[in-house]
Amino acid sequence: MSIVDTYLATDTGTRTGLMNDFIQAEIALVTNDVSVCSYVLPAQNYSISDFQRDYRIEIERNGVLLGNTPFLIRKVEKILNTRGEKFISLVGYSGVDLLRRRITAYFSTASGKATWTDSPDDIMKAIIRYNLGANYNDADRDITPTNITSYFTVAADTGVIAFTTKSASRKNVLTVLQELASDAWQAGEWLGFDVVYNSIYKLEFRTYPGQLGADRTAGASALIFSPDFGNLIDVKRTWDWTTEITVAIAAGEGDKASRVVKTAQERETESIFNWIEDLVDVRDIQANDNAVQAEADAGVREGRPRDILTARVVDTTGIKFQRNWNRGDLVLIDFENERFNARIDAVRIQLNQGGYEAIDAGLAIE
């Protein structure tokens, strides 16, 4: 049985106490999106005023902070059930939720703020710096947000992924980052991001080229998941062409014949009928040939067929969560005479008052 300690802290990170008397809890750690936790507490031990907006829930499992991130409280409920029992329910969102709360609030031609040609991981960091980080008060921003730089920072640029062109004026920051990660992956380079604590316990935006966790596909650290070993269950292997796009036509700014139009195509010869067109309407981005072409390329990449394996990774006696594997790790999968790499993109943990713990994980083919 693992030891789980759940701490409550203020929005600025000062711990105010433990919540180890919870009745049940569930934590869902996901990659490139907002992770979520939910807790049910005995109402008699708490006051609603204990749980303010953006107070932090910090969950330590065997002394290690789950996800290396706090969960910011965004929902509190008082519950009275049919048996007359009273509870308090909490829902918290991980640090990535801070990215969901901002937009790229710049006009479309603002170079380095709404349009970029750079490595996708460094584009991500520029977006964060100009909307949450050190450049939050840039003169070109539509409105100056609250300064959170005493509690939030951005990791240094690395520029390890091939350059791309991206335009994103007045779009949700998290959505733009997810688009950049998807574009990189469709181009053959996986890119992750997260908001975690750094060495001085300050929230920090980071990018993760290759995989978020450890590479466990070779050498002494190689880790194989297979139904034969009992650590892979509920397996489904799918080849899905239902949403395939093989020809993308991107149309940018301009009118009629003067409109900037670029195309991209691939896989159209794999079947005599496999010419499948889609329009990418990007009239809201800068009328730039490279920017429009990048959108066409992204459109056809996004339309690639899905080569999918869905399964649950489960703890066994010999292979356990946090000891041998973690969210974001790259591992080996053996299934029906196939062996391939997969990323552990999500982890779900269920806890109750009696010490029961159930853990399973979701996989994505590398």
Convert the pLDDT of each residue in 298-316 to its tens digit: 889 888 888 888 888 888 8
Provide the pLDDT for residue 284.
Answer: 75
Average pLDDT, the chain: 92
Poorest-pLDDT segment among 77-86, 146-155, 184-193, 282-291 = 282-291
> How far is 209 from 347, CA to CA, in rounded Å?
20
Of 220 and 202, more confident: 202
Instruction: Say whether pLDDT at 75 is over 70.
Output: yes
Q: Is the CB of residue 252 less than 8 Å from the CB of residue 291?
A: yes
- Residue 269's pLDDT is 86
Q: Is residue 267 predicted with pLDDT exceeding 90?
A: no
The residue behind tokens 């709404």 is 114
Backbone dihedral region for residue 125 (phi beyond 0: left; psi -120 to 50: alpha; all else: beta): alpha
The pLDDT assigned to 286 comes to: 62
> Is the predicted pLDDT of residue 16 greater than 80, yes or no?
yes
pLDDT at 195 over 80: yes
Q: Give 253's pLDDT tier (boundaries 50, 70, 90).
A: confident
Query: Is 198 a residue whose pLDDT tops 90?
Result: yes
- Check pLDDT > 70 for residue 366: no
Q: Which residue has the tokens 């869905």?
A: 310
Mean pLDDT of 277-294: 83
Q: Which CATH architecture has domain 4-94?
A: Roll (2.30)
115: tokens are 């349009």
Residue 97's SS3 state is helix
327-350 pLDDT, tens digit per residue, is: 999 999 999 999 989 999 999 999
The number of CA neighbours under 13 Å toward the Cβ of 182 is 17
Q: Any alpha helices (H) in 204-266, and if so which ranges?
A: none
Report, as an integer, the average pLDDT of 123-135. 97
- Give me the pLDDT at residue 298, please: 85
- Mean pLDDT confidence for 81-106: 97
Q: Fold for domain 242-304?
A: Phage tail proteins - 2 layer sandwich fold (3.30.1920)
Q: Who has greater pLDDT, 128 or 292?
A: 128
Residue 33 has a pLDDT of: 97
For residue 358, is pLDDT > 80? yes
The pLDDT value recorded for residue 46 is 97
For residues 38-56, average pLDDT: 97
